[in-house]
Each structure stands twice: as structure tokens, then as C-alpha cells.
Structure 1
């Protein structure tokens, strides 16, 4: 789905949020590779990011044409700094639910930007008729868990050994949910 470009504020800073376009494909591939290298809290290792520009363009087009999915890109002073998204469930019994994700380049964390992005994403989801937002978070990511809880998300489950890292260690995941 597409939404109009908007400005949100995070600790006095103006953040532009806009729907991704197909011209953003290479930038998003580079972003995925870098953010996956910056943290162990995302789903992939950087070398697993193998999509081509054409594949990413198709993904962006499908997302924009979807009635249930939204991806927003965030810009600070004209610089791309991260994205947030939600994916709705289309079957009738689950249509009230959506799952969300967010990531920022590490140097933009701790500035209130993630909070402002999530709050806007939840507002849009509610306007689109969603009643429940869900997410999965690595159990060791206490900073994100505190943020989600402060916004009103509650834990409802834990999956032990959800991720296995290349070094052989594991990470649990928590499932969290917020009523909109």
C-alpha cells in the first residue's frame, strides 16, 4: 500500500517518512547488508542478502500494490536512516492482525526515531482497520523490548533457540502484541 509522504518528529528533529519506490532498490539492498552486519538482532547474516536489484524492485512494487502491506523509509536531513513496515494477514479470520518490523542504522538508534516511527506505523495500521499488531524480537535485545513495552506491547510467548548464529550459539525470541 502507498501512503502520502509525512513528517514526524523525534526529539525535535524532523524525520521524513515515505513509501519506498522501485528507484530505492539498490539503496535498500545496501542497507540490508549493512544493518545485518551491525547487529545480531536481525534475521540474516549480511552474506545471505542475495537479491538482485530487479528482485528488490519487484518486492517494492508488490508491497506498494498490496492492500495489506506497507513499507516506509525514514530520512533525516535527506539521508536514508532506516525503515519500518507491517504485513497484514489477508484471510478473513486473521484480517484484524498485522506483523511489524523496524530497523535503523546503528548510529541513529537511541535518538527517539524508532519510537516515533513505530507510533506512526501503529497509527496508520489502526486507520487501515487493523486491531492487533504483533512482532518478534530477539530475547537479548533488551533495548528494543523496553521500547516496545513502553509503547504498549506485551509479551505473549517465547521460542527457545529461535536463531542459530554462525558461531554455534543460539538466541531465543519473544513474541509481542499490542491491541490498536
Structure 2
């Protein structure tokens, strides 16, 4: 589904949040690869589950056509610096909910990009009859957990020893949800 374009000015940085377009596919492939190598907060290590531009074109096309999917990008002077997706399940028993995911280039942390991608996604979900948003977050990502709580998400469960990170230790994944009755 498509949404309207929003402009933001945070901590001296102008950026735009808009729906992804098929022509973004090349940049998205590069940005995702870079982000996966910048933080252990993501599920993948750099290069794992690589999506090439053709793969992103297909995702964008599907997300644009499907009423319970949303693909947003954050841009600074036409450079994609982050993105988020809401993906719905098309089984009737799960048709009320979407799963949210977000990532932002490390050099652009601290400008509210992730927060504003999430806020735009929540606004879209509420306006389109989506009753529940879910997400997973690494237990050590305290800033993200606090942000999600401030925006109405609750801890629904813990996946114990869910991920092994570069230090060789296992970490829990927190499952969070926001229900809009």
C-alpha cells in the first residue's frame, strides 16, 4: 500500500519518509547489506539472506499492491538511509495483524528516523483497520525496547537463547505487540 510523503527536521537533519518505489531497489539492496554489517541488532550478518535489486523490486511491487503491506524508506537528499516494512499474513485468522521491522544506517542513528518510520507505520495501520502490530527485538537493544514501549507496544514473550552473537554468547529475543481495539 502507498502512503503520503512526510518531511522531518530533527537535530539539524532534514529527511523524508515515503513509500518505497521500484526504482529504489538498487539502493535498498546496498543499504540492507551495509546495515547488516553495522550492528548485531539485526537477524542477519552481512551478506546473509542477500536480496538483490530484482528481489527488492518484487518486494516493493507486492507491498504496493497488497492492502496489508507497507514498505517505507527514509531519505536524506535522495539517499536511502533507512527503511521499514509492515507485512501482513493473508490467512483469515491472522488478517488483523502485521509484523513490523525497521533498520537505519548507523551514521543516521539519533535523528528519530526509526521512531518516525514506526510512527508512520502505526498511523497507517490504525487508519487501515490493522488491529495488531508485532515485532521482535534483541534483548540488549534497550533504546529500541523503550521506544516501542513508549509507542504502545507490550512485551508478549521472550524467545530464550534465540540468537548467538559474535561474542559466542546466546541472547534472548523479545516479542512485542501493540493492539489497537
1:24 maps to what in 2? 24
The alpha-carbon deviation at position 19 of structure 1 amounts to: 1.5
1:100 maps to what in 2? 100
> Does 2:131 align with 1:131?
yes
**Structure 2 Cα separation of the partners of residues 113 and 79 of structure 1:** 13
2:162 maps to what in 1? 162
**Structure 1 segments of 4+ aligned residues over 6 angstroms from their partners:** none
2:179 maps to what in 1? 179
The equivalences for 1:41-56 within 5 A come to 41-56=41-56
Q: Which runs of 5+ in 2 are unaligned?
A: none
1:5 maps to what in 2? 5
TM-score scaled by structure 2? 0.89
2:143 maps to what in 1? 143
**Structure 2 Cα separation of the partners of residues 40 and 103 of structure 1:** 11
Change (3 A) 1:154 1:9: farther
**Structure 2 Cα separation of the partners of residues 9 and 133 of structure 1:** 26
Change (3 A) 1:12 1:126: farther
- Asked if the contact 1:10/1:116 (under 8 Å) is kept, the reply is no
SS of the equivalent of 1:4 reads coil
More off after superposition, 85-94 vs 1-10:
1-10
TM-score scaled by structure 1? 0.90
More off after superposition, 167-176 vs 1-10:
1-10
**Structure 2 Cα separation of the partners of residues 102 and 18 of structure 1:** 14
Aligned Cα root-mean-square deviation (Å): 1.9
SS of the equivalent of 2:111 reads coil
**Structure 2 Cα separation of the partners of residues 74 and 14 of structure 1:** 10
Any idea what the Cα deviations from partners look like across 1:88-134, whole Å, max 9, x if unmatched?
22222222111101111112112222222211110011111111111
**Structure 2 Cα separation of the partners of residues 76 and 112 of structure 1:** 13
